[in-house]
């Protein structure tokens, strides 16, 4: 989460600099700086939570913010849009509560895929599709960018390895790779029980 936020901050700072260099528009520059501030605050909150859990020093009675899940995808996509990557969300099937561990894992996978798109793909657009099945859930993140380099395809990075580890915890399936029509896709399917989380 913190690494994602820092990546977004870097992109937003670059956008603010470009606005100031090309057209000294204080309104657009203020918007970019406000997005940087919001993202930095979010990263700091996440870091405090992680340190509090690791050190077990959060005994002051201050409640930790809830862990993110698929319900927070609209906010994540808004963050990407502010960083300059148009992104859409489509939900198919009937949304239902998921086990917290599945919900968090899917969110983190989407977050990692979109961070990679933002940093590496030179994409003009990204899309996230969440499909609720009767006994599973499928999430797909696609972009229209340049796809992975041949060396990256042979040697997956830490983000892809992390995705595989998350999916393996739930005996799910993960497919990552270039799309025939161009761009890149990350598709994950996790089994769920049909009822409660």
Q: What is the pLDDT of residue 58?
A: 47
Q: What is the pLDDT of residue 100?
A: 86
CATH class of the 68-197 domain in this structure: alpha beta
Is residue 163 within 8 A of residue 188, CB to CB? The reply is yes
Question: Residue-wise pLDDT tens for the chain (197 aa)?
Answer: 566 566 667 777 777 777 677 766 677 777 777 777 777 777 777 777 666 655 554 455 545 567 789 999 999 999 888 888 899 999 999 999 998 889 999 999 999 999 888 888 888 899 999 999 999 999 999 999 886 655 555 555 667 888 988 898 889 999 999 999 889 999 999 999 744 44
How far out from the chain centre does Cα 64 lie?
Answer: 21
Token pair listed for 133: 């099945």
- For the sheet with 173-178, list strands across it: 87-92, 126-132, 136-143, 184-191, 173-178
C-alpha closest to that of 77 among 68, 85, 65, 69: 85
Parse the chain into domains and list their residue ranges.
Answer: 1-65, 68-197
Residue 41, pLDDT score: 74
Tens of pLDDT along 83-101?
888 999 999 999 999 988 8
């Amino acid at each position: 989460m913190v690494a994602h936020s820092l990546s977004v901050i870097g992109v937003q700072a670059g956008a603010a600099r470009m606005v100031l260099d090309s057209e000294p528009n204080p309104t657009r520059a203020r918007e970019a700086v406000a997005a940087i501030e919001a993202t930095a605050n979010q990263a700091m909150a996440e870091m405090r939570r992680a340190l509090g859990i690791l050190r077990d020093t959060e005994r002051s009675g201050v409640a930790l913010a809830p862990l993110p899940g698929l319900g927070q995808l609209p906010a994540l996509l808004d963050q990407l849009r502010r960083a300059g990557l148009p992104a859409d969300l489509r939900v198919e099937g009937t949304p239902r509560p998921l086990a917290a561990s599945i919900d968090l894992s899917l969110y983190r996978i989407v977050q990692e895929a979109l961070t990679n798109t933002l940093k590496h793909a030179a994409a003009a657009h990204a899309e996230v599709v969440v499909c609720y099945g009767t006994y599973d859930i499928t999430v797909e993140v696609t972009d229209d960018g340049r796809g992975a380099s041949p060396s990256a395809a042979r040697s997956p990075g830490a983000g892809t390895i992390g995705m595989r580890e998350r999916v393996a915890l739930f005996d799910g399936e993960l497919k990552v790779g270039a799309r025939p029509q161009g761009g890149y896709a990350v598709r994950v399917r996790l089994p769920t029980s049909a009822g409660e989380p």
